[in-house]
Amino acid sequence: MSETRLLNKNNQLHESGEPLLDLQGLSIAFKTDGGEFTAVDKVSFSLRPGRTLGIVGESGCGKSVTALSLLRLVPHPGRITAGVIRFMGQDLMALSANEMRRIRGGDIAMIFQEPVTALNPVFTIGDQIAEAYRLHHNASAKEAHETAIGVLDRVGIPGARHRAKSYPHQLSGGMRQRAVIAMALISRPRLLIADEATTALDTTIQAQIIDLLLDLQDEYGMAILFISHNLGIVSEIADEVMVMYAGQVVEKAPTESFFGAPRHPYSAGLLTTLPQPERRNQILPTIEGSVTVRYDQLTGCRFAPRCVKADDFCRRTDPELEAVAAGHGVACLKMEFAP
Ligand SMILES: Nc1ncnc2c1ncn2[C@@H]1O[C@H](COP(=O)(O)OP(=O)(O)OP(=O)(O)O)[C@@H](O)[C@H]1O
Ligand SMILES: [Mg+2]
């Protein structure tokens, strides 16, 4: 895939060396009775075709809202207040509503946090997936149906032709999730956003779905943004890990460096609580304390109130993400040194 040349909507060449997705300084705020709450604060990252970025961080730190912004689906009363999102070289925010609709479920597909809501209970899965295909392709009903069966088969649904006639409630949780993935993949997205896509499933099925995503990634060269509380799964699927805390990126690193030698005290806390052999399938552990609800009102480092290393300097000074090695950034005034 690395040599592939892509054409964007305006038929401009998108060189494979460029990132597929590039976010710079993205901020998202929600209107509240107490004024605007900046839930996501100057988040930047980029993703190349065929690569996977894992996003971790405890509940409420801004992972889903960041992901939704890529589809311009930030829920009301939220809005993007700053930053640029470039996808295949185009400014996503400058696209018309129609162009954005073409991208959703086309070049960018998302598996949502609550997969059950992704399927409509009154239609068979075959019909829904075929319909998703027809939204983006000029295909006859029969052609779309055959394509849907092909994808259901590809995601490992046995007897796909027969199962296509099932309604969502007639399938097991694992099979339903495969159907949701089939729907996301039928248009061969260049970017797949998976937001807790495997969380509801048992361990064996999770592992199967991860293998499936990796296979499909090899085959289609799609990039994946993988949001999960499961550090074990992130270590298996991601090329790079980004840790968010209270709406900000606190560490971003190649997966091996991150799991080998995390440098931010929050990341280190996440990993040291995990005994090595049990990291696989380990859910994000709890670190003492909790994040302030209005975290945007904190001055200095937002993790300082929970950090054993924090001093007055940390409480006064906003740490910037600093490069500590190639592709490794850390936002901490007291960062751990590499062993
Ligand atoms: N519809 C909304 N209205 C107001 N605030 C919201 C809304 N959706 C999200 N937020 C706020 O934005 C912040 C980030 O939420 P987000 O859903 O992105 O967190 P998350 O990291 O995905 O958490 P989780 O791990 O629980 O899924 C939260 O603090 C939340 O209070
Ligand atoms: Mg979420």
Query: For ligand 1, what atom is nearest to the CA of residue 75?
Result: 1
Distance CA 278, CA 281 (A): 7
Is the pLDDT at 324 greater than 60? The verdict is yes
- Give the DSSP letter string of 118-130: GS-TTS-HHHHHH
Cβ 61 under 6 angstroms from ligand 1: yes
Q: Residue 92 C-alpha to ligand 2 middle, in angstroms?
A: 22
Peptide bond into 77 cis (omega under 30): yes
Residue 227 alpha carbon to ligand 2 centre in Å? 8
Q: Are 145 and 153 in contact (CB under 8 A)?
A: no
Would you say the CB of residue 38 lies under 6 angstroms from ligand 1?
no
Output the CA 171–ligand 1 centroid distance in Å.
Answer: 30
Residue range 194-222: average pLDDT? 86
- 1 pLDDT tier (thresholds 50, 70, 90): very low
Q: Which of 115, 110, 112, 111 is nearest to 201 (CA)?
A: 115
Place of tokens 């710079």: 24
Q: What pLDDT score was predicted for residue 3?
A: 37
CA of 150 to the centre of ligand 2 (A): 31
pTM of this prediction exceeds 0.75: yes
Confidence of residue 271 (pLDDT cuts 50, 70, 90): confident
The phi and psi torsions of 268 (rounded to 5 degrees) equal -60, -40
Of the ranges 89-93, 176-180, 239-243, which one carries the lowest mean pLDDT score? Answer: 176-180
Evaluate the CA torsion angle 43, 44, 48, 49 in order and state its sign: positive
pLDDT band per the 50, 70, 90 thresholds, residue 6: low
What stretch of H or E contains 30? Answer: strand 21-32
pLDDT above 60: residue 338: no
Q: Is the pLDDT of residue 296 over 70?
A: yes
**Nearest protein CA to atom 17 of ligand 1, as residue:** 64
- Closest C-alpha to 47, from 236, 228, 192: 192
Q: Are 111 and 67 in contact (CB under 8 A)?
A: no
Ligand whose nearest atom lies closest to the CA of 41: 1
